[in-house]
């Protein structure tokens, strides 16, 4: 069957290879040729790449796509170049060259930015990050955050939510809870800018829960104090839940914490990874937090 397929597509493959050779000749600099002819070579490369892809030869297709992209770039059409690079990146993922994947998608994103099209640039970064997140989570996270930064610069904060969510989920998977909480807080800030109150409150509550899961009550408390300054969070149900949770922690009662989590009406609507963390609260030992803000200074003997 495979041989049949190969024989069937062989003429096409042969044709594609011929196209590639022809295009290579056009572009290679030699003694007689002083300037490469990209305008003629690019469509040949594209045709060859499509043929290779249909023939399920990802390696050759990827190379052809890359060359086509270079050609488009030289012809000052970065949009098409970006598209070709994305296709090349997808093929590289199939091949398993994850470094190359990252590289290709980053280049595609830069080209899109050159065109002035920010959304496709961010999408390219997202796609690249998703492709490598299992294998190279650090790089993936960086790409997600770059995508968020790109969109925020352009003023399209709302599109960044999905990237934030993916970045936070990777951090949680890596057990880097402080980083995850930071991402959530940034998400809340972006939501605040575009007046998406629901997302903002959910992001803040998620941050607090992640801090509590990381056994870091002080940070959770500090971030809660910061968040409660915001009117939109202060009036929300999520704030109520956060207050209950933090007071249960302060009193050091694990059964109370579990009760708050199980009967809360807002926690089941958060992202699923945060729900999973919340269900595992309290993690670690919970002791009553004593408020040591100078009550012991005033002593009866001081009146002497």
Partner 1 sequence: MSVIDILTRVDVLCKKYEKYDLDKQWAGADSMSGNDQFLRLYTVVEADIEAAREKSQDAQSEKNRAVVATLNAEVRRSKAALKAEIPKLEKLAAKKVKDLSKEEMAARPDLIVALAQKIEDIPDGVTVGRRGGTWGRKASNPLEIKLDAMHPDDLMRPEHYEQTEESLALRQEYEMRRAKQDEGLDIIAAGLTTLKDMAGDINEELDKQMPLIDEVDTKVDRAAADLKNTNIRLKETLTKMRSNRNFCIDLILIVLILGIGGTLYTYSFSPFTPSYVCLQPLLMYQQSFAVTREQLSVFILNAIVSC
Write down the least CB distance from residue 172 to partner 1, Å. Answer: 21
Nearer to partner 1, 268 or 284 (CB): 268
Using CA atoms, how far apart are residues 270 and 82, in angstroms rounded to an integer?
35
Enumerate binding residues for partner 1 (CB under 8 A): 156, 158-159, 194-199, 237, 265-266, 268-269
Nearer to partner 1, 84 or 186 (CB): 186
Write down the least CB distance from residue 196 to partner 1, Å. Answer: 5
Using CA atoms, how far apart are residues 128 and 134, in angstroms rounded to an integer?
11
Nearer to partner 1, 266 or 289 (CB): 266
Counts of helices then strands in the chain (DSSP H, E): 15, 0
CB 38 within 8 A of CB 24: no
Write down the least CB distance from residue 194 to partner 1, Å. Answer: 7
Write down the least CB distance from residue 54 to partner 1, Å. Answer: 31
Write down the least CB distance from residue 301 to partner 1, Å. Answer: 54
CB 178 within 8 A of CB 170: no
Nearer to partner 1, 197 or 289 (CB): 197
Nearer to partner 1, 27 or 200 (CB): 200
First-last CA distance in the chain: 101
Write down the least CB distance from residue 159 to partner 1, Å. Answer: 7
Nearer to partner 1, 77 or 158 (CB): 158
Q: How many CB atoms lie within 10 A of CB 75?
A: 14
Q: Quick check: bond before 282 cis, omega within 30? A: yes
Using CA atoms, how far apart are residues 60 and 240, in angstroms rounded to an integer?
58
Reduced to 3 states, what is the DSSP secondary structure of residue 185? helix
């Amino acid at each position: 069957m495979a041989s049949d397929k190969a024989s069937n597509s062989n003429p096409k493959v042969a044709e594609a290879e011929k196209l590639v050779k022809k295009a290579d000749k056009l572009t290679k600099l030699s003694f007689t040729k002083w300037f490469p002819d990209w305008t003629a070579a690019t469509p040949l490369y594209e045709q060859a790449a499509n043929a290779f892809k249909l023939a399920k030869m990802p390696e050759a297709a990827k190379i052809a796509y890359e060359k086509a992209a270079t050609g488009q770039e030289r012809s000052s059409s970065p949009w098409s170049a970006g598209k070709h690079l994305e296709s090349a990146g997808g093929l590289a993922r199939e091949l398993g060259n994850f470094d190359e994947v990252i590289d290709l998608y980053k280049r595609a994103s830069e080209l899109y930015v050159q065109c002035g099209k920010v959304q496709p640039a961010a999408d390219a970064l997202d796609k690249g990050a998703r492709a490598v997140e299992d294998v190279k989570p650090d790089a993936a996270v960086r790409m997600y955050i770059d995508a968020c930064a790109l969109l925020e610069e352009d003023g399209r904060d709302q599109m960044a939510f999905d990237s934030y969510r993916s970045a936070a989920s990777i951090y949680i998977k890596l057990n880097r809870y402080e980083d995850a909480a930071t991402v959530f807080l940034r998400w809340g800030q972006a939501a605040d800018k575009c007046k998406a109150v629901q997302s903002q409150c959910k992001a803040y509550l998620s941050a607090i829960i992640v801090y509590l899961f990381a056994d870091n009550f002080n940070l959770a408390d500090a971030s809660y104090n910061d968040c409660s300054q915001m009117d939109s969070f202060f009036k929300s149900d999520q704030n109520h839940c956060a207050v209950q949770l933090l007071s249960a922690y302060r009193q050091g009662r694990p059964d109370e914490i579990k009760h708050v989590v199980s009967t809360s009406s807002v926690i089941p609507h958060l992202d699923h990874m945060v729900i999973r963390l919340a269900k595992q609260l309290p993690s670690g030992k919970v002791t009553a937090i004593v408020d040591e803000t100078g009550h012991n200074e005033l002593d009866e003997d001081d009146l002497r």
